[in-house]
Amino acid sequence: MKEFFRKWKKGMNELSPIQLTKAKMVGHGGTIAGTALGWGFLFISGLGYWSVLLFFIIFLQVINLIETKKQYDNMQKFIMVGGKDEKKRTRSKD
């Protein structure tokens, strides 16, 4: 068990920022899906007044997902621009 956690910690420390951002997007999507499922069960069970709380949780998660998606897109643009600039620099030297 200690070996598993040691390897897991090492792997987590080696993730790039873009990989971490993508993982956050997946996590937000899973949270939205699970909360929406819970929202449906509340309506079926007749506890609809609790749905207001879950609605706001879903709303906040969607806002976080949009924010993380924009951050991920900006990171990808930065990587693409950096790659193009690097190619231009190497061509101009030749």
Confirm whether 56 is domain-assigned.
yes
Which pLDDT band, with edges at 50, 70 and 90, does 81 fall under? confident
Confirm whether 24 is domain-assigned.
yes
Q: Domain of residue 46: give its range.
A: 16-93
Cβ–Cβ < 8 Å for 75, 17: yes
Confirm whether 49 is domain-assigned.
yes
Confirm whether 46 is domain-assigned.
yes
Q: Which letter does DSSP use for residue 48 in this model? A: G
Confirm whether 3 is domain-assigned.
no
Give the residue carrying structure tokens 């949009």: 66
pLDDT of residue 1: 86
Confirm whether 88 is domain-assigned.
yes
Structural tokens at position 87: 């190619």
Which pLDDT band, with edges at 50, 70 and 90, does 84 fall under? low
58 Cβ contact list (under 8 Å, min separation 6): 32, 35, 36, 39
Confirm whether 64 is domain-assigned.
yes
Confirm whether 75 is domain-assigned.
yes
Spatial separation of the C-alpha atoms in residues 62 and 33, rounded to whole Å: 10
Tally of domains within the chain: 1
pTM greater than the 0.75 cutoff: no
Residue 18, SS3?
Answer: helix
Structural tokens at position 45: 């069970």
